[in-house]
Amino acid sequence: MESESNNKVSNGLDGSTGAESMARRGNTCELILRVVALALTVAAAIVLGVDKQTKVVPIQIAPTLPTVNIAAQAKWHYLSALVYAVVANIIASIYAAISIVIMLGSRKGKSSTRLGQMVGVADLLMVGLLFSANGAALAIGLMGYKGNSHVRWNKVCNVFDKFCDQVAVSILLSLLAALAFTASVAITLLKFQKRFASKS
């Protein structure tokens, strides 16, 4: 009886329980980050997917002719960069939901190192996917705000202000989701570093 109690005391003093509690806290933080990423990517896809605006624009065909008012529409699927952003956020949200299920399942059973490595690689792919989509959407958004005098592309956000504001909000939400995935990658790397350090 005394030896068993001594073993329990020694296990509490040698830091093994502390390491387990740190691992549990890391898993909890990672799970929260994935839920945040899921919510942000779904919100970004919805905000951009419903984005459209109709405005009456005066157009003058010739200086001698009067202006003609024409109803013009701005929709997200008119621009391939915005289509790419919507698809990228949908893919990232589906992956976030799947990874949450995987994490909850691994908590009940024994976690696999190979499965953790696969999830970490997939997280990196989501980071690259979201940053590339946001870069493309941001480039076309800046073109809409400022135009390009060299190729005579006029700015359109002074007319379709609501449309451009929704694009900006969607890009911001998606960037925050990319940062959440980046933080998840960092936590995964720290867990593997501690696991390999304990084995050596």
Helices (H) and strands (E) in the chain, counts: 5, 2
pTM of the model: 0.81
Q: Tens digit of pLDDT for each residue in 151-187?
A: 778 888 988 999 999 999 999 999 999 999 999 999 8
Q: Could you tell me which CATH number the domain at 28-198 has?
A: 1.20.140
The runs of H, that is alpha helices, within 50-156 are 80-108, 113-146
pLDDT band at 15 (very low <50, low <70, confident <90, very high): very low
% of residues, the chain, pLDDT over 90: 47
- Total Cβ atoms within 10 A of residue 46: 16
pLDDT tier, 20 (very low <50, low <70, confident <90, very high otherwise): low
Reported as type and span, the H/E element at residue 54 is strand 52-59
Residue 196 pLDDT level (bands cut at 50, 70, 90): low
Joined tokens for residue 124: 């990196």
Cα→Cα distances 17→7, 11, 20, Å: 13, 7, 5
Residue 11 has pLDDT above 70, yes or no: no
Q: Are 57 and 70 in contact (CB under 8 A)?
A: yes
For residue 132, the one-letter residue type is S
Question: Which amino acid would we find at residue 164?
Answer: C
Task: Compute how many other C-beta atoms are within 10 angstroms of the C-beta atom of residue 117.
Answer: 12
Beta bridge partners of 75: 52
Residue of higher predicted confidence among 46 and 152: 46
Residue 6 clears pLDDT 60, i.e. is over it: no
pLDDT in tens, 77-98: 999 999 999 999 999 999 999 9
Pairing outcome for strands 68-75 and 52-59: antiparallel
Report the pLDDT value the prediction gives residue 167, as an integer from 0 to 100.
Answer: 95
What are the backbone dihedrals phi and psi of residue 170, each rounded to the nearest 5 degrees, phi first? Answer: -65, -40
| pLDDT on residue 110 | 53
Mean pLDDT of 103-107: 77
Q: Tell me the pLDDT band of 13, cut-offs 50, 70 and 90.
A: very low
Record the tokens describing residue 108, joined without a space: 């009940």
Could you tell me the residue ranges of all domains in the chain? 28-198
Measured in degrees and rounded to the nearest 5, phi and psi for residue 150 equal -70, -35
